Amino acid sequence: KNQVEQSPQSLIILEGKNCTLQCNYTVSPFSNLRWYKQDTGRGPVSLTIMTFSENTKSNGRYTATLDADTKQSSLHITASQLSDSASYICVVSDRGSTLGRLYFGRGTQLTVWP
Amino acid sequence: EADIYQTPRYLVIGTGKKITLECSQTMGHDKMYWYQQDPGMELHLIHYSYGVNSTEKGDLSSESTVSRIRTEHFPLTLESARPSHTSQYLCASSEFENPESGSPLHFGNGTRLTVT
C-alpha cells in the first residue's frame, strides 16, 4: 500500500533554532517528492519538488533532502522565524499513470516560540 | 502568490441544502482539483479535471459533482448537505507537467463548511 508517513506529528522550537522534519514513503514507482507549507486557515504553498535524481534542494532557509534508496526525505529549517509556524506536508507522486497520483502525508505541525 | 480564489471562505448551512463551492484561477492552468482536508489528516482528492469538459472522480467523490465549462472555473456542488460533509475544501490548479519532474499545485485558501 502506497503511504507517506511524517514525523514528528508536532514540534515546538525557539525562534532562531534549526529543526528537521522527516518524511518516509512507500510509494512505488516513485516520480517526485514535494514539500508544502500550510499556514493556519490558508491553502498549502509549494516549497520544493525533487525528482529521483535530486538529493537536495533549497528554497531560502528551507533545505529538502531525498534518499530514494531508503525512501526518506527531510526538510531542514535554518534559523527559524515566528512566521515558520505552520503545518509542513510531504507529498509523493508515483509514475503509475501518465499524470501521476499524489500521496499526502498528514503533516508536521511546527510552532516557533519567541 | 498564486491567483486561485475560493468563495465563500466560511459557510454554515443546514442539512439537506444544496450548496456550490466556487473556485476560479487566472493562471490558465489546465489541471484543477478539489481536496477535502480534516484537522490533522491528509488531503483527500474529491474530483479533478484535465481541461474544459473533462472531469474525473477522486477518492471521496460519491456525494458531490463538479463541472468544467471554462478553463478558469471549477465549481463543486453538494446536492444535499449532511453533517458528515463538515470539513475544509481546498481547490488547486497546476500546469500540465512532465510526469517525472512534476509541477507544483497552487492552492486556494479553502472553504470551511459546517453543516448543522
**Which chain A residue is nearest to residue B9, measuring alpha carbons?**
A41
What pLDDT does A79 receive? 98
Of A18, A31, A24, A20, nearest to A3 by C-alpha is: A24
As beta bridge partners, residue A89 has A36
Dihedral Cα B39, A90, A84, B11, nearest 10 deg: -30
Q: For residue B110, list chain A residues with Cβ-Cβ distance below 8 A.
A: 41-43
From A14's Cα to the closest Cα of chain B, the distance in A is 23
- Rounded Cα distance, A48 and A62, in Å: 9
pLDDT of residue A52: 85
Rg (CA), chain A: 14
> Which has more pLDDT, A109 or B104?
A109
Grid look-up 482539483 returns B33
Residue B59 scores a pLDDT above 90: no
Residues of A in contact with B102 (CB under 8 A): 31-32, 34, 49, 51, 93, 100
What pLDDT band is residue B24 in, cutting at 50, 70 and 90? very high
Mean pLDDT rounded to a whole number for chain B: 91
If you ran DSSP here, which 8-state letter would residue B14 be given?
-
Q: Which of B76, B73, B93, B94 is nearest to B85 (CA)?
A: B76
